[in-house]
Structure 1
Amino acid sequence: MPLSTDQSSGPSASTYKRVMLKISGEALMGDQGFGLHPPTVQRIAEEVKSVHDMGVEICMVIGGGNIFRGLSGSAQGMERTTADYMGMLATVMNALAMQSALEELGVFTRVISAIPMDQVCEPYIRRRAVRHLEKKRVCIFAAGTGNPYFTTDTAATLRANEMSCEAIFKGTKVDGVYDKDPAKYDDAVRYDNVSYDDVLVKRLGVMDASAIALARDNNLPIIVFSLDEPGGFRGILAGKGTYTRVAG
């Protein structure tokens, strides 16, 4: 489903009914080198609320790299499975922080974990999660897929398919997908549209290969945009702004 290009419809209109927002854990740490930066969490929560106010049903997956990254822990000698589970727990911490920020703004939110921990969040039950979305609650899916060796990119794509999302919105530090790193190369060129296969063959780094393949197999578009641009998430859903669309 293409994005609307009718800017006259205003910011209250969206061509999408249900979307997945995927952000990295590092997005929550602001200018810090580690952990959570409350003003940054608040700013992202306000972005999510602005889209929620448009009537869009929102799923979220947040990485855990600001607290612990399983792959780097494994590289330092920790057993990979243990390191990955620690990374999953970090995503739960981030999800709870985002839930708190959203609910302070009056947005009802549920944290749904692939690893049962009933005292702090709900276990993942697909039908229950769908019902939350139908009731206009934001659903934050935590703990990845519940399995080691799978990234939160793959978890976001899996949950987006299970929830029948119409697109994945990947919030990054740049306004789309480039042929090379725009932070290093002044002549980097941004793609308006790029195919799943080109992302894989050219190793453009949108998401890991498993996530891209899963999106391709289910014809699920990925919209890459800048999360640092104020109002960017809402603007793109209203048919404005700069982004790259990854599709077939």
Structure 2
Amino acid sequence: MRVVITIGGSIIMKDESPEKFQEYARILTSLAKEHEIFVVVGGGKPARNYIKIARGMGASESHCDDIGIEITRLNAKLLITALKGEAYPMVPENFNEAMEYSTSNKIVVMGGTEPAHSTDAVGAILAEFVDAELLINLTSVDGLYDKDPHQHDDARMFEEVTAQQMMEFLREKEVMAGTYEFFDMTAIQMIKRSRIKTIIANGKAPENLIKVLNNEKIGTRII
């Protein structure tokens, strides 16, 4: 199965330590024995810090996005380092390069591509581009909630949601560099038009990837 996995920067860079990268490398290496794996890594706190500095100097949102993209690519390089010989050694900067690198039969790891596209959007576009069978979005909570579960004890998680419902949910969200939460509108539009099977799950435990691929009931499925 061809699978695209997006790993939120807030997950993989939470403690800014090698252990989380190594945990993911171990799981991804095991999955790559049976599946063709593409990974898109987010920027997390380091990206937000750099963006904050740039914005404080009057940089445009596009320029801030560009800075954030560079950080996602650095994070991708760290994961490639953890994966050692299991990953293609270069970070693709666009989708054609990602497809080209995949012919090596190695895990392909990338970050952002262009301004105004979150790494979740990059993952959705990549999934369509490479004709993936599954898109897995790993975030800091168990799935999609009707409100922030970190702030509301009565937040309700959706086991299933349609792409159209997701679009309505996101319509009121402000989109600025470094502030994407779950999918941005570009991502969900890609999922809707391509009918990509998509699951949002908690990435704090890398083992959840195995559960998703074993069709266990976990996270939120976009239908």
Instruction: State the TM bucket, normalised to the shorter chain.
Output: 0.7 to 0.9
Counterpart position of 1:26? 10
RMSD value over aligned CA atoms?
Answer: 2.3
Q: Secondary structure at the match of 1:58?
A: strand
Q: Which residue of 1 aligns with 2:43?
A: 64
* 1:213 Cα offset (Å): 0.7
1:163 match? 130
Residue equivalent to 1:6: none
**Aligned AA (2:71):** A
Mean Cα displacement is larger for which, 216-225 or 82-91?
82-91
Larger Rg belongs to:
1
8 Å CA contact retained: 2:136, 2:199: yes
Q: Hey, which of these two has a bigger chunk of strand by percent?
A: 1
In the alignment, what sits opposite 2:80? 99
CA distance change for structure 1 residues 141 and 124 in 2, over 3 Å: closer, same or farther?
farther
CA shift, 1:59, in A, is 0.4
Task: Name the residue aligned to 2:176.
Answer: none
Q: Which range moved further: 73-82 or 162-171?
A: 73-82
Q: Corresponding residue for 2:109?
A: 140
Correspondence for 1:47 among 27, 52, 70: 27
Aligned residue number for residue 152 of structure 2: 185
Deviation at 1:241, TM superposition (A): 4.4
| Sequence identity percentage | 25
Q: TM-score, normalised by structure 2?
A: 0.84
Shift of 1:225: 0.6
Q: Which residue of 1 aligns with 2:100?
A: 128
**What is the rounded CA distance, in whole Å, between the counterparts of 1:186 and 1:75 in structure 2?**
33
Aligned to 2:121: 154
Pick closer, same or farther for the CA change 1:44–1:129 going to 2, 3 Å.
same
Listed one character per residue, the Cα deviations across residues 36-75 of structure 1 (whole Å, up to 9, x for unaligned) are 311111112222223223x011101111233224764564
CA 66–47 in structure 1, closer or farther in 2 if over 3 Å, else same:
farther
Q: Which residue is equivalent to 1:120?
A: none
Please say if residues 153 and 208 of structure 1, whose CA atoms lie closer than 8 Å, have aligned partners that are also in contact.
Answer: yes
Q: Which amino acid aligns with 1:112?
A: V
Q: Distance in 1 between matches of 2:47 and 2:67?
A: 7
Is the 2:4–2:134 contact (alpha carbons within 8 Å) kept by the matching residues of 1?
yes
Per residue, is there more helix in 1 or in 2?
2
Is the CA contact 1:179–1:191 (under 8 Å) kept in the aligned structure 2?
yes
SS of the residue 1:94 aligns to? helix
Aligned residues: 212
User: Aligned pair 1:82/2:54, yes or no?
Assistant: no
Question: Structure 1 residues 127, 92: CA separation in 2 closer, same or farther (over 3 Å shift)?
Answer: closer
Shift, 1:130, TM fit? 4.0
Out of 207, 219, 223, which is 1:243 matched to? 219
Long gaps (5+) in structure 1: 1-16, 116-122
Deviation at 1:194, TM superposition (A): 0.3
Alpha carbons 1:112, 1:124 under 8 Å: kept: no
Segments of structure 2 that go 5 or more residues without pairing to the other structure are 174-180
Tell me, in whole angstroms, the C-alpha distance in 1 between the residues paired with 2:115 and 2:182.
21
CA positional deviation for 1:193: 0.8
TM-score (norm 1): 0.77
The offset of 1:149, in angstroms, is 2.4
